[in-house]
Amino acid sequence: MKAGVYFTGTGPILIITSYETLDDPNLLDKLKAKRIRKFIAYEVSVEQVKEKYGHHFDVVLGDLKQTDDLRVMDYDGHHVFNSFPLKQLGQPILHDLED
């Protein structure tokens, strides 16, 4: 399981996924279906997300299938942006999806 902060055109969102990577081709297809075609993503620790989101994490995780799935943990860009220190984000994943 992976967690990632995705900086999109409408602001950052926090995604939890069962895919192996934040840019898995099947995950990219799901993001494209949600009209997310361009992003900068940073992996964040699932434990850190669990600590910050508490019960909400458990509710969202309880609905996550074992494979090939994703859940948006938080779409409040202001909250997501302020929840994770930029110095801890590491190397970005840059992606520009084409139609």
For 66-85, the pLDDT digits (tens) are 555 888 899 999 999 999 99
CB-CB contact of 6 with 76 (8 Å): no
For 31-72, the pLDDT digits (tens) are 998 889 999 999 999 999 999 999 888 888 776 555 558 888
Identify the burial level of 50 via C-beta atoms within 10 angstroms of its C-beta, where 0-12 means exposed, 13-18 middle and 19 or more buried.
middle
Q: Tell me, what's the pLDDT at 1?
A: 87
Q: Tell me, what's the pLDDT at 56?
A: 87
Q: Tell me, what's the pLDDT at 98?
A: 66
pLDDT over 80 (residue 13): yes
For 71-97, letters b (16+ CB in 10 Å) and e give bebbeebeebeebbeeeebeeeeebee
Whole-structure pTM value: 0.88
Q: What is the mean pLDDT of the chain?
A: 88
